[in-house]
Amino acid sequence: MTSRKISLSSPIEEKIAWARYYYEAFGEALLEQERIGNLLESLKGDILASRREMALTGIVDICRHCDREEGGSCCGAGIENRYDGWLLLINLFLGVDLPKKRWQDTGCFLSGENGCLLMARHVICINYTCKKVTDRIAPCAIRELRENEGKEINTLFMLHESIKKALRQWTND
C-alpha cells in the first residue's frame, strides 16, 4: 500500500490497512518522541480507570446481558464508520490486533466474541449510555464514570493530535 489518503467515508478495511502501513513505516520513530510515549502511557492508565469504573458500576454486566440475552447491542454494524485511520493507528500502538473481517454480520466490524476489540475508542463509544443503564445505575456512579471518561477523551485527543502533527511533518498526509 502506498501512502495514499483515506477519509472518514473510506471502508473500514482501507482505514485498517492505512493504520497498519503507517504503524510499520513510522511506528518506531513515533515512539521515540517523548510526548507521544508519555501520552500513550497516560492513555493506558485512563482507559483502565474508565473500564474499571464501568465494571464497578455494573455497566459491563448490563451491556453483556443486553448483547447476549436480549439480542441487542449499541455496537451494531456501521459504528465502525465513525473511526478514522488515526484512531486505529493509536490502537496498534496500544497492542490491539485489528480484525481482518467482521465477526458478526449485525455487529460493529471492531467487535469480537467478547465485545469491543479496541482499547482506544471513538468518543461516542466511550460516552454513550442507554436508558437501561441510566435507569439502573445511580447518578453519582455515572458522574464518577464521566470524570474518568473525560480524562480518557482528553488524553486521547492530545495523543491523536500529536501523532497527526508528527506524521504530517514527515509525509504529505
Q: What is the DSSP string of 52-114?
A: HHHHHHTHHHHHHHHHHHSS--SSBTTGGGG--HHHHHHHHHTT----SS-SSTTB-TTEETT
| pLDDT of amino acid 48 | 96
Within-domain flag for 35 = yes
Q: How many domains does the chain have?
A: 1
Within-domain flag for 3 = no
Q: Taking every pair of C-alpha atoms in the chain, what is the biggest distance, in angstroms? A: 50
Report whether 32 contacts 138 (CB < 8 A). no
Within-domain flag for 80 = yes
Within-domain flag for 84 = yes
Give me the tens of pLDDT residue by residue for the chain, a chain 173 residues long. Answer: 445 688 888 999 999 999 999 999 999 999 999 999 999 999 999 999 999 999 999 998 888 888 778 876 788 888 899 999 999 999 999 999 999 999 888 888 998 887 889 999 999 999 888 888 999 999 999 999 999 999 999 999 999 999 999 998 988 76
Distance CA 36, CA 60 (A): 30
Within-domain flag for 5 = no
Domain membership of residue 151 as a residue range: 12-168
Within-domain flag for 135 = yes
Beta bridge partners of 112: 115
Within-domain flag for 6 = no
Within-domain flag for 173 = no
| pLDDT of amino acid 3 | 53
Question: Cα-flanking dihedrals φ and ψ of residue 81, to 5°?
Answer: -70, -15
The x, y and z cell numbers of residue 167, run together, are: 506524521
